């Protein structure tokens, strides 16, 4: 711990806000000192668990806010008190904010924080739900500067970059070059048959009009990982020549995508279910694998019957822990699942909340449950690059240095046994790699040897990615606050992801969606120039 550790505000005390707060406490040198959350139960429980404790002591000034607007007003007033002088009781402010509100709220919250100024920001993924909003946030974050005129540290919730597994995979591929130049990558995100119904059929992210396409809300960090492997330079740090510029990214050439809502729709509803629209009134509920009673109350998946009161049960009933007996908790949970709507219910009311007991074939969901994205790169060698030598074999590797022609294929699929246990095949000129959630297996064509790596699993949160992202962001804030680092250095060396990479990976998702809806192959550079670069009014790669 530093003598003056980074002080952190969590905006949004839902599942992601709590996950980051736990990571701050267990894996970083930061301290959670404030929370902004409109739900009384979530706000109070968060404060007791993470800030002021359960001993009955009231929270101190500046520790609890009913929403982000209340925090902004308080912080402006606190700063004015400091400027006015003469008040020895002005409490310390926060150094950084974690934005963990609903996706569609990211734009207004982050913009307000940048207008307030002086705070480092970590925003849960996605950055925003439209491309225009992403561009707006890019501009706002570029303008978020400290008194020295330096751009404040920013991180996005692309936690997959920070798991020990993916850090090692990237090192093997880009630094050690164990399979030489990459030719193609096939990456799959298996969402899980019941998980997809919870989040994308019944839950928050089921409607594109109220949130965004599932490729963005579920898989934007998978697209980011592919660009991290195939587009970003091996190191995020500035070049050693003193120019302050790193090696340019290897820019994609084309983007295409196919996908649709294939299964969770009325045409797939079993005839025996009849006119039932809710699991609790369905004649075949006991035989249906998607039964809400089975998922949220049962004893064979993640329901209350297994003893689980966390996710996803706590999403249906956030205050499940407050009910004294299991029987009472089950009764209240059942009443929540029984809530339904009919043809007379206004669509605005339907869209405003989740319907976790709703039949998965009778919902208002419209996002893809199956999608494939294909990204290609043309050969683009850097000038005057000597052919490197692979240390382990002393054999020359491909002189393209990762900038040869290549292809990435991403597959998001709902109907799987695996739940978010991603797996990837990588094919290179000198070998191939198969990586799943726990192992990385490398086969070398030159030696015939196969080596399996088993990276440590730091935590269950995205394979340690939650803890890793949190630790690196807080460490970057600490180095700026306590060690005199420039914010740009902390951004590159510790967060290891630039704002340009963030906007590029999000733009790639929107480009893929445009390609899917139009049934065409898009020229990436032309699309980027017209849809992003021209709107920014500046030249970014």
Arithmetic mean of pLDDT, 14-43: 95
Contacts of 277 (CB under 8 A, 6+ apart): 340, 341, 342, 358, 359, 362
Reference 96, options 2, 24, 160; nearest CA is 24
pLDDT of residue 522: 98
pLDDT of residue 53: 87
What would the pLDDT profile of 290-302 be if each residue is shown by its tens digit? 999 999 999 999 9
Arithmetic mean of pLDDT, 514-541: 90
pLDDT band at 238 (very low <50, low <70, confident <90, very high): low
Position 281 pLDDT exceeds 50:
yes
pLDDT of residue 86: 82
Q: Which two tokens stand for residue 59?
A: 């929270």
Position 180 pLDDT exceeds 50:
yes
pLDDT of residue 541: 60
Q: Are 230 and 185 in contact (CB under 8 A)?
A: yes
pLDDT of residue 460: 67
pLDDT band at 173 (very low <50, low <70, confident <90, very high): very high
Distances (CA, A) of 385 to 52, 391, 402: 57, 17, 11
Position 184 pLDDT exceeds 60:
yes
pLDDT of residue 98: 98
Which stretch of 53-62, 306-315, 328-337 has the lowest confidence by average pLDDT? 53-62
pLDDT of residue 392: 47
What would the pLDDT profile of 101-128 be if each residue is shown by its tens digit? 999 999 999 999 999 999 999 999 999 9
Contacts of 378 (CB under 8 A, 6+ apart): 253, 405
Arithmetic mean of pLDDT, 37-62: 90
Find the helix or strand (DSSP H, E) in which 465 lies. helix 465-482
Helix extents (H) in 60-125: 68-84, 106-116
Reference 71, options 105, 46, 94, 41; nearest CA is 94
Arithmetic mean of pLDDT, 220-239: 87
Q: Which two tokens stand for residue 136?
A: 């707006």
Arithmetic mean of pLDDT, 437-459: 93
d(CA 489, CA 470): 17
Position 393 pLDDT exceeds 90:
no
Q: Are 99 and 16 in contact (CB under 8 A)?
A: no
SS (H, E, C) 300-320: CCCCHHHCCCCCCHHHHCCCH
Tell me the pLDDT of the chain averaged across its residues: 93
Q: Which two tokens stand for residue 98?
A: 């974690």
Domains delineated in the chain: 7-152 (3.40.50.720), 161-263+369-456 (3.30.360.10), 266-352 (no CATH)
Which stretch of 138-147, 202-211, 452-461 has the lowest confidence by average pLDDT? 452-461
pLDDT of residue 311: 94
pLDDT of residue 220: 96
What would the pLDDT profile of 398-445 be if each residue is shown by its tens digit? 678 889 999 999 999 999 999 999 999 999 999 999 999 899 999 999
pLDDT of residue 394: 44
What would the pLDDT profile of 123-164 be if each residue is shown by its tens digit? 999 999 999 999 999 999 999 999 899 999 999 999 999 999
pTM of this structure: 0.93
Find the helix or strand (DSSP H, E) in which 97 lies. strand 96-99
pLDDT of residue 240: 38
pLDDT of residue 400: 82
Contacts of 108 (CB under 8 A, 6+ apart): none
Position 239 pLDDT exceeds 60:
no
pLDDT of residue 87: 85
């Amino acid at each position: 711990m530093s003598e003056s550790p980074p002080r952190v505000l969590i905006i949004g005390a839902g599942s992601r806000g709590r996950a980051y707060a736990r990571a701050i406490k267990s894996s970083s040198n930061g301290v959670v000192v404030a929370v902004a959350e409109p739900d009384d139960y979530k706000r109070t429980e968060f404060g007791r668990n993470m800030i002021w404790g359960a001993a009955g002591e009231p929270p101190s000034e500046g520790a609890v806010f009913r929403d982000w607007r209340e925090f902004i007003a308080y912080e402006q007033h606190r700063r004015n008190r400091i400027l006015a002088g003469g008040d020895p009781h002005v409490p310390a402010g926060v150094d950084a904010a974690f934005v963990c509100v609903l996706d569609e709220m990211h734009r207004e919250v982050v913009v307000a924080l940048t207008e307030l100024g002086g705070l480092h920001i970590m925003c849960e993924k996605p950055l925003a739900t439209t491309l225009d909003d992403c561009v707006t946030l890019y501009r706002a974050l570029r303008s978020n500067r400290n008194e020295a005129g330096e751009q404040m540290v920013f991180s996005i919730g692309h936690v997959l970059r920070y798991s020990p597994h993916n850090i090692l995979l990237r090192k093997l591929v880009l630094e050690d070059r164990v399979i030489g130049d990459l030719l193609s990558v096939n990456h799959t995100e298996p969402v899980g048959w019941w998980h997809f119904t919870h989040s994308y059929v019944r839950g928050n992210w089921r409607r594109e009009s109220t949130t965004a396409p599932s490729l963005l809300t579920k898989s934007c960090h998978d697209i980011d990982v592919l660009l991290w492997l195939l587009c970003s330079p091996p190191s995020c740090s500035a070049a050693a020549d003193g120019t302050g510029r790193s090696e340019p990214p290897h820019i994609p050439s084309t983007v295409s995508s196919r996908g649709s809502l294939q299964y969770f729709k009325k045409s797939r509803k079993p005839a025996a279910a009849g006119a039932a629209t809710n699991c609790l009134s369905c004649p075949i509920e006991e035989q249906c694998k998607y039964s809400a009673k089975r998922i949220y109350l049962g004893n064979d998946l993640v329901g209350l019957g297994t003893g689980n009161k966390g996710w996803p049960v706590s999403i249906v009933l956030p205050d499940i822990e407050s009910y004294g007996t299991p029987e009472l908790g089950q009764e209240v949970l059942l009443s929540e699942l029984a809530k339904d709507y009919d043809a007379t219910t206004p669509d605005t009311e339907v869209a405003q909340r989740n319907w976790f007991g709703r039949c998965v074939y009778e919902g208002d969901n419209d996002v893809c449950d199956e999608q494939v994205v294909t990204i290609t790169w043309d050969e683009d060698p850097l000038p005057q690059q000597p052919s490197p030598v692979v240390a382990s074999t002393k054999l020359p590797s491909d002189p393209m240095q990762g900038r040869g022609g290549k292809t990435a294929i991403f597959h998001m699929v709902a109907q799987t046994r695996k739940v978010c246990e991603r797996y990837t095949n990588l094919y290179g000129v000198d070998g191939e790699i198969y990586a799943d959630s726990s192992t990385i297996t490398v086969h070398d064509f030159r030696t015939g040897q196969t080596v399996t790596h088993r990276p440590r699993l730091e935590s269950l949160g995205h394979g340690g990615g939650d803890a890793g992202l949190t630790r690196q962001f807080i460490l970057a804030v600490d180095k700026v606050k306590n060690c005199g680092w420039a914010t740009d250095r902390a951004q590159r060396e510790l967060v290891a992801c630039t704002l340009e990479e963030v906007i590029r990976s999000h733009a790639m998702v929107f480009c893929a969606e445009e390609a899917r809806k139009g049934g065409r192959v898009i020229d990436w550079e032309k699309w980027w120039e017209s849809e992003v670069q021209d709107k920014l009014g500046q030249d970014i790669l």
